[in-house]
Amino acid sequence: MENSILTSILFATIVAGTPLIIVALGQLIAEKAGVLNLGAEGMMSMGAIAGFAISFETGNIWLGVLAGMAAGALMSFLFAVVVLTLMGNQVATGLALSILGVGLSAFIGKPYESEILPTVEAIRIPLLADIPIIGEPLFAQQSLVYFSWALFAAIVWFLYRSRPGLVLRAVGESPSSAHSIGYPVIRIRYMATIFGGAMAGIGGAFLSVFYTPLWVEGMVAGRGWIAIALVVFATWRPFRVLVGAYLFGGVMVAQLFVQGSGLEINIPSQFLSSLPYLATIIVLVIISRDQNTVRLNAPVSLGQPYRPDA
């Protein structure tokens, strides 16, 4: 019994953390290139409705995930045109993108409000899934959960072990230096931004196709903002994003389990509901308290427009 509760908590934690990881890692790449896109909530909403609609119409969830990715990418492309080509203010444009995405997805989603999708089956990895306690949570999950881990590994490798990753970081640190040695700053920023949008779209599609297989207006419910905050509190380091996302998911799930256990606890549920936010912020602030590491990892040109002078 004890084991099965622990297993359920771990399982639910990983599921709850997955959309945050996918979206936050995408934003991490964009921010490492110096682009601050606050539109994650809007891009996720568009990804959610596109993913749901295409999955529903075609019966193929993978086309749905692709559509979600494309919708997020398209939204971020709009954003990129405004801030990178037209030199618009990144904060204001990002906020506008959020409003646009949330509203537009509600409009597009009207006809899909009464529809549901079948639940996506988990993929059990033989043998490994039978390990007690951690087997189920780690090795019997839906495919996008595995994708989030692959994404994490790929991003760590890309940022710290590959040459293009080095260039990307250089663009975020000092766009003028990168430009002066011949790197196409604007083009790299375009690619990073669109990658961020595509991941936000997949994160949205995860919500509407895998997590709660339905579409309702406002179903992203603030997760885009949490993802953006995670990147900052994790001081732009992928592993801390992973820790933060699972911590957030874990505390949320654990407080639900405490409430549902029927134990007599004298903690107001309002406080329990705010615990995930508190715990995540406190832990990430503590592990990131060293000013030097923060300075080392924060992209210097974040949020600043760059106009290459000829």
Partner 1 sequence: MTLTKIFNKLALTALLAAMTGTGMAADNVGFVYVSPIGDAGWTYQHDLGRLQLEKETGVTTSFVESVPEGPDAERVIREMAKRGDKVVFATSFGFMNYALKVSKTFRKTAFVHATGYKMGKNMGLVNARFYEGRYLTGVIAGEMTKSNVLGYVAAFPIPEVLQGINAFIQGARSVNPKAELRVIWVNSWFDPGKERQAALTLLSQEADVITHHTDSTAVVQAAEDQGKYAFGYHSDMSKYGPKAHLTATTHHWGDYYVKTVKEVQAGTWKPSSVWGGYAEGMIALAPLNKAIPADVQARIRDMEKQIAAGKLHPFAGPVVDQSGNTIVAAGQDMTDDQLNQMNYYLQGVVSKIPN
Residue with smaller CB distance to partner 1, 132 or 268 = 268
Q: For residue 5, state whether it binds partner 1 (rule: CB under 8 A).
A: yes
Q: What's the DSSP call for residue 130?
A: G
The contact pattern for partner 1, residues 44-83, with x = CB under 8 A and - = no contact, is ----------------------------------------
89 near partner 1 (CB under 8 A)? no
Provide φ and ψ at 115, rounded to 5°: -95, 155
Four-point Cα dihedral 254, 249, 93, 98, nearest 10: -70
Q: How far is the CB of 256 from partner 1 (least distance, A)?
A: 4
Residue 132 touching partner 1 (CB under 8 A): no
Closest to partner 1 by CB, 27 or 105: 105
Return d(Cα 146, Cα 112) in angstroms, integer: 28
| 3-class SS shares of the chain: helix, strand, coil, % to 5 | 75, 0, 25
For Cα atoms 228, 28, 255, give the angle at the middle one, nearest 5 degrees: 45
| 22, 206 Cβ separation under 8 angstroms | yes
Among 216, 275, 283, 298, binds partner 1 (CB under 8 A): 216
Amino acid at 260: G
Query: By CB under 8 A, which span of 69-77, 162-170, 217-225, 230-238 interacts with partner 1?
Result: 217-225
Which is nearest to 45 in space by CA: 231, 151, 197, 193? 197
Site size toward partner 1 (CB under 8 A) is 45
Selected binder of partner 1 within 219, 243, 247, 302 (CB under 8 A): 219
Q: Kindly tell me which of 182 and 260 has the beta carbon lying closer to partner 1.
A: 260
Residue 267 structure tokens: 């903690």
Q: Judged by CB under 8 A, which of 78, 106, 108, 122 binds partner 1?
A: 106
Work out how close the CB of 233 gets to partner 1 at its nearest, in angstroms, rounded to a whole number. 21
Min dist CB 271 to partner 1, Å, is 8
126 binds partner 1 (CB under 8 A): no
Shortest distance (Å) from residue 253 CB to partner 1: 6
CA distance 151 to 35: 20
Q: Which of 60, 119, 162, 293 binds partner 1 (CB under 8 A)?
A: 119
Of positions 88, 125, 129, 217, contacts partner 1 by CB under 8 A: 217
Q: Is 291 in the site for partner 1 (CB under 8 A)?
A: no
User: Which residues on neighbouring strands pair with residue 123, listed in sequence order?
Assistant: 141
257 is a site residue for partner 1 (CB under 8 A)? yes
Quick check: 43 and 201 in contact, CB under 8 A?
yes
Q: Report the C-alpha gap between 77 and 260 in whole angstroms.
A: 44
The single residue among 182, 262, 292, 309 that binds partner 1, judged by CB under 8 A, is 262
CA of residue 278 relative to chain centroid, distance: 19
Strands (E) across 75-227 are located at: 123-124, 140-141
Q: CA distances (Å), 278 to each of 187, 272, 291, in order? A: 38, 10, 21
Among 60, 85, 273, 304, binds partner 1 (CB under 8 A): 273
Q: Please, what's the largest Cα pairwise distance for the chain?
A: 69
Residues that bind partner 1 (CB under 8 A): 4-5, 8, 12, 16, 41, 95, 98-100, 102-103, 106, 113-114, 116, 119, 207, 211-214, 216-219, 221-223, 252-253, 256-257, 259-262, 264-266, 268-270, 272-273
